[in-house]
A and B are shown apart, each in its own frame.
Chain A
Amino acid sequence: MTNLTGDTDVFSSATDTGSLKASVMFLAYRQDELPGVYSEAHRQAILAVLGDLAEEGWTLALRRVFDLSADNNPVGLDTGFTHEHDIAGVFEAPNLEAAIEGTVRLERAGWARLFRTEWLMGVKEFAPVMGDGAITDHGWAFLALWEWNDQWCEATPVERTEYDFECDIAFKGDLAHKVNIAGRHRMDWSHQWHHLGAWEIGHPDIADSAIRGHEDVADFKFTTSRHIVGRLTPLAELIAPRY
């Protein structure tokens, strides 16, 4: 078991399959300002690598995290309307070796020409949780990176457990917002952020409303976080060449 904290009412450990289930997150900034940098051939090469990754067991669509019968065509978040980065996304890979090698394969196929990218890799800790109503047609996604601050580190184990269950009140509020939570991913081993949470949401305002619930239970007394909202969009569209 490699979880950083214990199970709560909302969260239970991801099923132990004997090997670590890895996650790959990206925040990508377009840099194809000039003709000749990135072309349709590069796009096709990236899609070919993504096709190979799917055959190798990767999950490329957030919906498929909740429903194994769902389509696995790669999906990203269109984030440029409210973030400096243009797109974001989360994939799941069979293991950490496959995760980092997959990022290199994508970069070499042409991704590096199109984007300046921050790749983050993690290990899945908690199983997915469906929101109230178990709605499956969410058009948007919300990604939250967070780290525990010095005050959390100084707190006693009892204080931390009490805090986890206070936050559980807010997570139950998220589920009442019909948010689907794709588990929790541990990122601390290869980054400054400790955790990633990925949600399906119905509308960008849902994220703000849900986060107010987290503020009400003082979630942020022990954490610093970075929040990302984007419209779920086929990656094939998001990586279309400009020229």
Chain B
Amino acid sequence: MSNSIWIHYSRPRPHWYLLTEAEQADLQERWAAVRESAKAAGGSTQGRFHIRGQHDFQEVEIWTFPQTTDAFNHWSKLVAARYNEFFAFSNNIGLELPV
């Protein structure tokens, strides 16, 4: 089975800026825990990169997962933790080609 790459673009939605710092920190902590659980399940990430200078999103995250469904499950956990409510997004999935 080939690895899947998952590319995630994001930017805060306007009402993100209405939250208190404590509320933002609490949510960020929940999302960080989801990212850690994805790593524990075999995913790996290149990290988060700032791209606002040449894009209409603010950040991009690049992940690889053992299977495509792992990417779906990771995203579903972020959504369950309300990530999509506070960040606009665009996602891509890709399949590793044989060398």
Contact of A96 among B13, B15, B68, B86 (CB under 8 A): B68
Q: Total contacts A to B, CB within 8 angstroms?
A: 59
Are A189 and B72 neighbours in the complex by a CB distance under 8 Å? yes
Nearest chain A CB to B70 CB, angstrom units: 9
Tell me whether chain A's interface is mostly helix, strand or loop, or mixed.
Answer: helix
Are B69 and A190 neighbours in the complex by a CB distance under 8 Å? no
Residues of B within 8 A of A96 (CB): 67-69, 72
Q: Which of A49-57, A81-89, A97-105, A137-145 contacts B (4 or more CB under 8 A)?
A: A97-105
Q: Which of B45-80 contact A (CB under 8 A)?
A: 67-69, 71-72, 75-76, 79
> Cβ of B36 < 8 Å from any Cβ of A?
no
Are A100 and B69 neighbours in the complex by a CB distance under 8 Å? no
Nearest chain B CB to A178 CB, angstrom units: 34
Nearest to A192 among chain B residues (CB) is B90
Contact of B85 among A95, A97, A153 (CB under 8 A): A153
Nearest chain B CB to A149 CB, angstrom units: 9
Residues of B within 8 A of A97 (CB): 1, 67-69
User: For the complex, what is the distance from the CA of A168 to the CA of B44, rounded to whole Å?
Assistant: 41
> Cβ of B91 < 8 Å from any Cβ of A?
yes
Nearest chain B CB to A177 CB, angstrom units: 31
Residues of B within 8 A of A159 (CB): none
Residues of B within 8 A of A9 (CB): none
Residues of A within 8 A of B13 (CB): 150, 153-154
Known: A95-B69, A104-B95. A188 touches B86 (CB 8 A): no
User: For the complex, what is the distance from the CA of A99 to the CA of B76, rounded to whole Å?
Assistant: 18
| Interface size, A (range) | 20 to 34
Are B90 and A191 neighbours in the complex by a CB distance under 8 Å? yes
Are B15 and A188 neighbours in the complex by a CB distance under 8 Å? no
Nearest to A3 among chain B residues (CB) is B76
- Contact mask for chain A residues 96-123; partner B; CB cutoff 8 A; 1 contact, 0 none: 1101110010000000000000000101
Are A150 and B91 neighbours in the complex by a CB distance under 8 Å? no
Residues of B within 8 A of A175 (CB): none
Residues of A within 8 A of B92 (CB): 190-191
- Contact mask for chain A residues 142-161; partner B; CB cutoff 8 A; 1 contact, 0 none: 00000000100110000000
> Cβ of A15 < 8 Å from any Cβ of B?
no
Nearest chain B CB to A208 CB, angstrom units: 29
> Cβ of A4 < 8 Å from any Cβ of B?
yes
> Cβ of A127 < 8 Å from any Cβ of B?
no
Nearest chain B CB to A196 CB, angstrom units: 14
Are B95 and A188 neighbours in the complex by a CB distance under 8 Å? no
User: For the complex, what is the distance from the CA of A204 to the CA of B82, rounded to whole Å?
Assistant: 38
Chain B residues proximal to chain A, CB less than 8 Å: 1, 4, 6, 13-15, 67-69, 71-72, 75-76, 79, 84-86, 88-93, 95
26 A-B residue pairings within 8 Å (CB atoms): A2-B72, A95-B69, A96-B67, A96-B68, A97-B68, A97-B69, A99-B68, A100-B93, A123-B72, A150-B15, A153-B86, A154-B13, A154-B14, A154-B15, A188-B75, A188-B91, A189-B76, A189-B93, A190-B6, A190-B72, A191-B90, A191-B91, A191-B92, A192-B89, A192-B90, A192-B91
Known pairs A150-B15, A192-B91. 4 more at Cβ < 8 A?
A: A2-B72, A96-B68, A96-B72, A97-B67
